Amino acid sequence: MKKGLCLLAMAASSMMLWAQNDIVDLKIEVRADYQREYNDGHSIEENCGFRGKYLNMAISGNINDHFSYSWRQRFNKMIGSNGSSFFDATDWVWLAYNINNFEVSAGKQVVGIGGYEYDRAPIDLYFCSEFWNNVACYQFGVSGAYSFNEGKDKLMFQFCQSPFRTINPDMYAYNLMWYGNHGIFSSIYSVNMMEYAPGRFINYISLGNKFTIDRVSLELDFMNRATDHQTFLFRDMSLIGELAWKPLDCLNVFGKVSYDVNNTDNNDYYVLPGTEMTRVGAGVEYYPLQNDRHDIRLHANYCHTFGTNTNTDSQLRENHSMFDIGVTWKFDVLKIAKK
């Protein structure tokens, strides 16, 4: 922790020096919860009680008219001596160069997989699908993006380390994404080729759809997975739906369902063969304070999981329930803009 605080101070000092070039935005994000978990009605004592869920530092800004940067570090993620490094607790750190409608970036990035559950920051999620709980979504790589149609659409291609690199570090992923924003409809679509073994790929088609009408939004994600030379659909897949309503600016009420299934012999290490899990839940968020520099959120939610999971280490288990209440606060530590 002492090392983290020293790092934070050094980063803030460096950003102040860089601020003469352009914008610097340094934020701290914290979330703490009280939770209860049950299996078959029996309390899971080691997963109950108060939990510090997230402690993040995020720095972003522009160096000049073309170069920008972003860095998010997770201080609650332990760095051990078993081969792990400082970067294992780094969600992302990248440098981007943009000119007109083109942007090229390099560094540790979010792996370009479609879907709204996947796209949302972990600190803003309370219960998730089996796929989300297992995917290693931050990897080093390079990407290029092109925005068009007056900024309503963006295409991005990414070449990065495979999320399965813990099996073999010399494996890679190739990701093509489309972001769309068209009135009440927006989208995050992707097609992906991920090496799960040297020279062997698992392919994703991931379609994230969002519909927003006034104070109601509906997110629908579909992901299909298949390994080399397989063309079947709907046998190894994930479906996620979330319906949210904001009756007031300070209040959000939501319900969510996820369904993960793998009825194949795929080499799918995130949703194992023989798995069929459903998770249903609902929650409420309350924002007592909202302004440009600080954000406080109170939340309460409940979810129940049922089905069969062949991954014995997964959080999603048959007849598993979780109740969670907590508070999140995000605040600006330093914000400097070029005059």
Residues 6+ apart with CB under 8 A from 306: 277, 278, 318, 319, 320
Tokens coding 325: 């209440």
Euclidean distance between CA atoms 253 and 336, whole angstroms: 35
Euclidean distance between CA atoms 49 and 151, whole angstroms: 45
Find out whether 175 and 161 touch, Cβ atoms under 8 Å.
no
CATH number at residue 298: 2.40.160.10
Does residue 123 register a pLDDT over 80? yes
- Tokens 């109170």 correspond to 298
> Which residues span the domain enclosing 23?
2-336
Mean pLDDT, rounded, for 100-117: 97
pLDDT, the chain, mean: 90
Does residue 9 register a pLDDT over 80? no
Mean pLDDT, rounded, for 102-116: 97
pLDDT per residue as tens digits for the range 244-272: 999 999 999 999 999 999 999 888 999 99
Q: Is residue 218 very low, low, confident or very high in pLDDT (cuts 50, 70, 90)?
A: very high
pLDDT per residue as tens digits for the range 51-69: 999 999 999 999 888 999 9
Does residue 149 register a pLDDT over 50? yes
Q: Which of helix, strand or coil describes residue 308?
A: strand
Q: Are strands 24-39 and 42-43 parallel, antiparallel or unpaired?
A: antiparallel
Find out whether 131 and 100 touch, Cβ atoms under 8 Å.
no
Does residue 313 register a pLDDT over 80? yes
Does residue 15 register a pLDDT over 70? no
DSSP string, 176-218: EEEEEEETTEEEEEEEEEEEEETTEEEEEEEEEEEEEETTEEE
Euclidean distance between CA atoms 197 and 169, whole angstroms: 10
Euclidean distance between CA atoms 78 and 264, whole angstroms: 35
Number of structural domains in the chain? 1
148: exposed, middle or buried (C-beta count within 10 Å: 0-12, 13-18, 19+)? Answer: exposed
Note the pLDDT of residue 84: 58
Q: Is residue 334 very low, low, confident or very high in pLDDT (cuts 50, 70, 90)?
A: confident
User: Comparing C-alpha atoms, which of 235, 276, 278, 275 is closest to residue 258?
Assistant: 278
Q: Is residue 18 very low, low, confident or very high in pLDDT (cuts 50, 70, 90)?
A: very low
Find out whether 306 and 17 touch, Cβ atoms under 8 Å.
no
Residue 318, CA atoms < 13 Å, CB-side half-sphere: 8
